[in-house]
Structures are given as C-alpha cells and as structure tokens.
A and B are shown apart, each in its own frame.
Chain A
Amino acid sequence: AQSVAQPEDQVNVAEGNPLTVKCTYSVSGNPYLFWYVQYPNRGLQFLLKYITGDNLVKGSYGFEAEFNKSQTSFHLKKPSALVSDSALYFCAVIGRGGFKTIFGAGTRLFVKA
C-alpha cells in the first residue's frame, strides 16, 4: 500500500530565510509525487509535481522540490520565504498504474515577519 509521511506538524521560519517542508513516501515502483497548498477555508491548490526526469522540480510561487529516490523523499523548498507563504502544505503520491492520490497529514508553515 502506498503512504506519505510529513514528519513535522508545523514549520516556523523568518521572512527572507530559506524554508524546507519534509516529505517521505512509500510506494511500489516509481512514484508520481505532488505538493499542494491550502489557504484558510479554501480547497487545495497544486504547486508542483515530479513524474520523471530531473530530480529538481520547479513550481508555482518560487517553490521547488527535490526527488531523492534512495531516501524516498520529496522535500519542498523555497530560497526566501514570504509571510504570504504561510499556509498548510500537503505532499501526495500516486503509485505507477494506480488511480488513487494519497495525501500526507499536512504541515503548517508559519512565516514570521
């Protein structure tokens, strides 16, 4: 069975500092990996995805994520955090040939001015 782990309930960073939100996954075969963001009282919005190819994926709002097959990780990163990045972030995975997107529990990012 596929699963996603986000080990941190909350990440706190100062505005202008780099941020990392961690994600590890478990799936049979090669995965499709995603990051989504949720602002208060809204649905989730797609940020970026890894399907194949370059391990460093760039997405919306200056976010990027690095796929590491040996560590089964897909950490979300941004070089310089903004207060407006404060939100709930979800990592998600689809197993190859599967039809179910499985989400992690979410990590709340708080960026302090």
Chain B
Amino acid sequence: NAGVTQTPKFQVLKTGQSMTLQCAQDMNHEYMSWYRQDPGMGLRLIHYSVGAGITDQGEVPNGYNVSRSTTEDFPLRLLSAAPSQTSVYFCASSQNQGANTGELFFGEGSRLTVL
C-alpha cells in the first residue's frame, strides 16, 4: 500500500529554471493538495484540488501551477524558480474535505533548493 508518493525527494535548481514535482496517490482520494514547509511558519497551502479537472488556489499560490487530469496525479510546476521557493514540499490527499472532513495523508516530502 504505497499511499502518497512524491518524486523527486531532493532537487537543486538554479534561479530561473523550471521543474515539476510529482505526486501520486493510490487511495482513490478525491482531494489532493500541496503544502510548503518553512521553519517557524508551519505548513502553508499552495494549491488544492477537489477532483479531476478542478483546482484552486491556497494561501501562497504565486509562482506555482497545478493541474489535475486524473484522480491519482497532482503535479506541482515551478515555471521560473526563485530562491524564495527553497523549501520542503508536501503533497497530501484526503477522501474528502469539508463535507466528509477527512484527515490528510501526506507524502514523504520533496526538498527543493534554488540557488
């Protein structure tokens, strides 16, 4: 039972480069989300999706794009990386949010460094 799988686990980018963080879940969860974790700031929501074809912005969406073409996958794209995007990124999924108040299942994280 893989749960939520994130790749890569580590990545170093130069300023201005682009990349995609991959997230896949095998629990048939409708809800998926991306967070970034920075020291002293907890987890901040970047984008989320309540189902295939539906995405919305979280607290800190600038500089990031997402898409949800399938239930299983929710990639996070950095179009032009900046040093301020150095962080640990977590993907999380839930059976539902709001109506069913499901708890989140987290991946192991992707540590990104932008030079």
Contact = CB atoms under 8 A, between A and B. Distances in A.
B42 to A, nearest CB: 4
Given A32-B101, A105-B40, 10 more contacts: A6-B42, A34-B103, A41-B109, A45-B106, A97-B98, A99-B50, A100-B58, A100-B59, A104-B42, A106-B42
A76 to B, nearest CB: 15
Interface of B: 4, 31, 33, 35, 40-45, 48, 50, 56, 58-59, 90, 92, 97-98, 101, 103-109
A105 B103 contact: no
Is chain A's interface secondary structure helix, strand, loop, or mixed overall? Answer: loop
B97 A43 contact: no
12 contacts: A32-B101, A36-B104, A43-B106, A44-B43, A49-B103, A90-B43, A97-B98, A100-B58, A101-B104, A103-B35, A105-B41, A106-B42
Interface residues of A, number: 26
Nearest to B108: A43
A101 B42 contact: no
Given A34-B103, A94-B97, A100 B48 contact: yes
A49 B36 CA distance: 22
Nearest to B109: A43
A51 interface: yes
A46 B48 contact: no
Contacts of A96: 98
A46 B101 contact: no
B45 A100 contact: yes
B94 to A, nearest CB: 8
Nearest to B96: A99
A34 to B, nearest CB: 6
Interface string A18-45: 0000000000000010101000011111
A9 B31 CA distance: 30
Interface in A55-113: 90, 94, 96-106
